[in-house]
């Protein structure tokens, strides 16, 4: 055998002895070594070389002595005996030391290879709304990305879920406890647990399947388990429309409350999402209402039936819910414009008529509904749409009319576009209508400025101040 190969023979025997004795320890060492894999070759080399060197130095041997073992049977037998009596125990000690180092952190909250650390070990809760021990926080830290589950477990083994398979990145987190847990009930959604001893448990599993658990004790005392009650919940009216004159533009969700709680109104849409409509407002026992106008984030929802839910959370953490449905119709936004205005004559004598001619085009997707008075109606300059014909032409929400106003004169007080005319029935999408009306001038001002507009009543002025015409008034 070549001289350079002889040391390898001895080292091979040493390694065989190590492996034979380490089989029982191998699974634990391999699991613990996963996080420290880059350091294992260096540590193993240092330990093995150190053991061999100290062993042969102890015998006064050298590199040449090792080379002569193979050639001399007597020396080979002595080397084997020495391997069994001295090298083997030292090597096993070295291997055990490596295993101890690698596994020392596996069950410790401070070990460098730990996936999860959590605490505190004991928690006292008194969830009754007095602000003393009402809540507590479990702090936990992940050394690497993991999926986290958490629960409380009662003395009888019943588990109450807190988190379920939540993906978390490496970092620090908090889990707030207030003693309440989900019930699975549609009305009482969360309820405070009874007084007693519970165990909190957090389980983290990383991408390689390594699982780590931490747990502690929770003591609950003085718990307020009575949930609040929401009574006679209703939406009035149940059907609303932003533009349809046959329906109100908003609704009131009314309810009664028997216990101090924070109340929130939610809306459920067809995609399964739940949208918060009102902030969480603290309410004392009493009767209340929350208003909604058919909008989410300042945009009208499409026509349809929507579920609403009121949730009340008392000071102890009990949560109840109640709700119903609201129907939204007529949400297609109408549109129209004035295409032509003619106002004249330019000069009149006091008491004469100013003629108004306005042409409207429906540029929107829905018909435009209107009401009177119709074409050819004559207003006195001191009158308004609300004062003529016994009040039958007062503004009605959502209906359309053209109107005329003026500047530079007295005119009726408190009314914009006091002279209004309907364009007869419904104006279909794309259609036009021309309205003719008159105003009898009774003012003493030498000049006034007439202008026209298009009004959707109690909603807005779609066209404002167009077709201005100066009219001089003589005596």
* Cis preceding linkage at 332, omega within 30: no
Task: Tell whether 384 and 440 lie within a shared domain.
Answer: yes
63 plus 176 within the same structural domain? no
| DSSP state at residue 37 | G
Q: Are residues 361 and 438 in the same domain?
A: yes
Q: How far apart are CA 319 and CA 337, in angstroms?
A: 51
Same domain, 182 and 245: no
Q: Are residues 234 and 214 in the same domain?
A: no
Along the 475 residues of the chain, how does pLDDT read in single tens digits?
Answer: 444 444 444 454 545 555 455 544 444 444 444 444 433 443 444 343 343 344 434 444 444 444 444 445 555 555 455 445 554 455 444 444 444 444 443 333 333 469 999 999 999 999 999 999 999 999 999 999 999 999 999 999 999 999 999 999 999 999 999 999 999 888 999 999 999 999 999 999 999 999 999 999 999 999 999 999 999 999 999 999 998 888 999 999 999 999 999 999 999 988 889 999 999 999 999 999 999 999 999 999 999 999 999 999 999 999 999 999 999 999 999 999 999 999 999 999 999 999 999 999 999 999 999 999 999 999 999 999 999 999 999 999 999 999 999 987 666 666 799 999 999 889 999 999 999 999 999 888 899 999 999 999 999 999 999 999 999 999 8
- 77 domain residue, yes or no: yes
| Token pair 């109640």 in the structure block, residue | 322
Residue 161 and residue 179 share a domain? yes
Co-location of 340 and 470 in the same domain: yes
Q: Is the peptide bond before 345 cis (omega within 30 degrees of 0)?
A: yes
Q: If residue 108 lies in a helix (H) or strand (E), which one and from where to where?
A: none
CATH number of 436's domain: 2.60.40.10
- The verdict on residue 109 lying in a domain is no
Q: How close are the terminal C-alpha atoms of the chain, in Å? A: 139
**Are 33 and 139 part of one and the same domain?**
no
State whether 322 and 384 are in the same domain: no
d(CA 38, CA 295): 59
Same domain, 244 and 373: no
Domain that holds residue 11: 3-103
Q: Among 195, 220, 245, give the residue marking a domain's end.
A: 220
CATH number for the domain harbouring residue 188? 2.60.40.2550
Give the CATH number of the domain where residue 257 resides: 2.60.40.4070
Phi-psi region of 271 (alpha: psi -120 to 50; beta: other; left: phi over 0): alpha
Domain endpoint, select from 158, 185, 220: 220
CB 307 within 8 A of CB 276: no
427: left (phi over 0), alpha (psi -120 to 50) or beta: beta
Burial class (CB in 10 A: 0-12, 13-18, 19+), 293: middle
Q: Rounded to whole angstroms, how far apart are CA atoms 405 and 72?
A: 126
Q: How many domains does the chain have?
A: 4
Does 111 map to a domain?
no
Nearest CA-CA partner of 320 in 225, 233, 232, 191: 191
């Amino acid at each position: 055998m070549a001289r350079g190969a002889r040391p390898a023979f001895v080292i091979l025997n040493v390694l065989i002895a190590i492996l034979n004795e380490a089989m029982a320890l191998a699974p634990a060492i391999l699991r613990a070594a996963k996080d420290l894999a880059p350091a294992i070759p260096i540590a193993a080399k240092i330990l093995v070389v150190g053991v061999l060197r100290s062993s042969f130095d102890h015998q006064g041997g050298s590199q040449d002595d090792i080379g002569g073992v193979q050639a001399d049977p007597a020396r080979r037998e002595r080397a084997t005996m020495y391997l069994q009596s001295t090298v083997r125990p030292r090597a096993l000690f070295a291997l055990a030391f490596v295993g101890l180092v690698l596994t020392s952190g596996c069950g410790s909250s401070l070990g460098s290879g730990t996936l999860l650390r959590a605490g505190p070990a004991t928690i006292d809760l008194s969830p009754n709304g007095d602000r003393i021990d009402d809540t507590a926080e479990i702090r936990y830290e992940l050394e690497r990305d993991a999926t986290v589950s958490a629960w409380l477990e009662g003395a009888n083994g019943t588990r109450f879920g807190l988190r379920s398979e939540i993906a978390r990145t490496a970092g620090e987190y908090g889990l707030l406890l207030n003693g309440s847990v989900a019930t699975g009930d549609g009305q009482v959604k969360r309820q405070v647990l009874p007084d007693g001893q519970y165990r909190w448990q957090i389980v983290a599993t990383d991408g390689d399947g390594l699982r780590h658990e931490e747990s502690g004790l929770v003591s609950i005392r003085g718990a307020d388990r009575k949930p609040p009650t929401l009574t006679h919940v209703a939406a009035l009216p149940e059907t609303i429309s932003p533009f349809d004159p046959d329906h109100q533009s908003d609704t009131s969700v009314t309810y009664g409350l028997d216990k101090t709680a924070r109340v929130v109104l939610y809306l459920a849409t067809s995609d399964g999402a739940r949208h918060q409509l009102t902030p969480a407002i603290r309410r004392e026992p009493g009767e209340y209402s929350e208003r909604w106008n058919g909008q989410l984030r300042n945009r009208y929802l499409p026509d349809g039936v929507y579920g609403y839910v009121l949730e009340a959370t008392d000071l102890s953490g009990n949560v109840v819910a109640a709700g119903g449905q609201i129907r939204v119709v007529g949400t297609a936004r109408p549109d129209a414009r004035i295409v032509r205005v003619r106002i004249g004559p330019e000069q009149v004598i006091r008491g004469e008529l100013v003629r108004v001619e306005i042409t409207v085009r429906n540029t929107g997707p829905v018909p435009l509904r209107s009401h009177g008075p119709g074409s050819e109606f004559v207003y006195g300059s001191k009158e308004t749409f609300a004062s003529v014909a016994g009040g039958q032409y007062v503004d009605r929400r959502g209906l359309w009319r053209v109107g005329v106003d003026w500047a530079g004169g007295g005119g009726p007080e408190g009314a914009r576009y006091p002279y209004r005319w309907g364009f007869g029935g419904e104006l279909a999408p794309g259609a036009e209508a021309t309205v003719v009306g008159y105003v009898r001038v009774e003012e003493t001002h030498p000049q006034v400025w007439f202008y026209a507009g298009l009004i959707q009543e109690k909603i807005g002025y779609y066209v404002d101040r167009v077709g201005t015409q100066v009219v001089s008034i003589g005596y």
